[in-house]
Amino acid sequence: MTRNGDDFKAKLSQANITLNEPIKPLPLETPWFVRALQAFSGWLAALFLLGFIAMGMVFVVESPATSMGLGLVMIGAAYALLRRARSDVLEHLALAVSLAGQLLIAWALVEWWEASPYSLWSLLGWSLFGLQCVLAMVMPSQVHRVFSAFAASLALYMALAMSVMAPVASGLVLLAMTLLWLNEFRWPGRFKDVQAWGYGLLLGLLVIQWLAHSGQALPLLNDMTDSAWAGLKSWLNVALIALALLLVFLRVFQNLLSFRGRWAAYACATALLFVSFHIPSVGQGVVVLLLGFAIGHRLLVGAGVLSLLLGIGSYYYWLDSTLLMKSLTLLVIGGLLLLLRWALRQWLNTQMATQGDGSLDRDA
């Protein structure tokens, strides 16, 4: 235990928390980029494995039922391997086998749904969403959970985009991610699982935003059908962002801020939701940023900044408004934000001066 660790333990002891002797050796956390490398090579190996099956056992890919059966068997085998895996080799192998199995299932689903009178991509999206949700829940591997949560968010996007409801997908993913991160320590025995789902959804959210930004909502999706809810998509998206923001606020307000501070925060939130309606995807960037800061997670804060930059980039190409109107909107928003900052500084500096806590400039 380092000196920082000793200080940290002392801090917890002072808060009347009984500390046990370690019952397990300290597991060394695998850095995210090593996990990413693991996922990358697993995915690459899965593609070759699938190629091997397609060439070596042609009858498998020719029959949807056989593809589905073999896919399920492979996922089952991967599950069994992951349950027993005590080495990186086995975990790696299981990941590749599972990914190849999922691709086989997806192939079988495409074959099946092609004959359906409903939209192929919508049905496929919902089916894969269900599959990935189950896998994210049951697969005993953090890398697999991250991947499945990520794939589930993309499948949801595909399913909803077919009904011209793509913005709702990002709102739903944002809400689910906010719920997970705000409750990451609620179940101490499974907090690693919750974090893995949270990372997967975060990645999914950024990719969905990038897809929306690039204007290429998955090239396959060219037979979108308007749904009765399509007219409400912007409102639904703002409502989902508002809900996510409210959850963050409720957590922050548990022990912080005065009554006036809370109302100031709600006023800022209303302004943000107004901005989100006119500048889609900026709201979600701000929510991720606030969420990251609220739970002390630097990576989430960075992702929030990235999301915000993507949001401003998307705004430039947004076709529902002229560049002149966008410019005026930004001018008003920028002016209001700086005015709000000035007002908050006046108020906060007065508060801090009365509490003997210095001023904000001390940290600037």
Partner 1 sequence: MASTRRELISLIEQGVIPTEQVAHAVQASGLHPSNRAWAVFIDRLLLWLGGLALAFAVLFFVAYNWAEMGHWLRFGVVQAAMVLAVGIAIWPKASPMVQRLALTSATLLVGVLLALFGQVYQTGADPWQLFFSWAALTLPWVWVARFELLWVLWLGLLNLTVGLYFRTWGGPFGVLSSSDAALWGLFWLNTLALATWEWGARYRNWARQWAVRLLAVGSGVPMTLLTMTLIADVGLVWSPVLAVYSLWLAVLYGVYRYWWPDVFMLAGGCVSVIAVTTLLLARLLLWEGDWQEGSLMLMAIAVLAMGTGAVVWLKRLHQEASQ
Q: Under rule CB under 8 A, which residues in 8-67 are in contact with partner 1?
A: 8-9, 11-12, 14-15, 17-31, 33-34, 37-38, 40-42, 44-46, 48-49, 51-52, 55-56
Identify which range of 121-129, 145-153, 216-224, 288-296 contacts partner 1 by CB under 8 A. Answer: 288-296
Nearer to partner 1, 89 or 228 (CB): 89
Site string for partner 1, 99-138 (x = CB under 8 A): ----------------------------------------
| Relative orientation angle of helices 142-161 and 32-56, to the nearest 10 degrees | 70
Listing DSSP states for 94-147 in one string gives: HHHHHHHHHHHHHHHHHHHHHTSSS-HHHHHHHHHHHHHHHHHHH---HHHHHH
Nearer to partner 1, 174 or 290 (CB): 290
How many other CB atoms are found less than 10 A from the CB of residue 139? 23
Q: Shortest Cβ distance from residue 334 to partner 1 (Å)?
A: 3
Q: Shortest Cβ distance from residue 13 to partner 1 (Å)?
A: 10
Nearer to partner 1, 87 or 222 (CB): 87
Left, alpha or beta for 278 (phi > 0: left; psi -120 to 50: alpha)? Answer: alpha
CA–CA dist 85, 143 (Å, integer): 13
Task: Write out the binding residues for partner 1, residues 161-200 only, by CB under 8 A.
Answer: 185-186, 188-189, 191-192
* Contact between residue 79 and residue 99 where contact means Cβ atoms under 8 Å apart: no
First to last CA, the chain: 34
Task: Write out the binding residues for partner 1, residues 298-327 only, by CB under 8 A.
Answer: 298, 302, 308, 312, 316, 322-324, 326-327
Nearer to partner 1, 228 or 363 (CB): 363
Nearer to partner 1, 65 or 299 (CB): 299
| Relative orientation angle of helices 64-84 and 88-114, to the nearest 10 degrees | 160
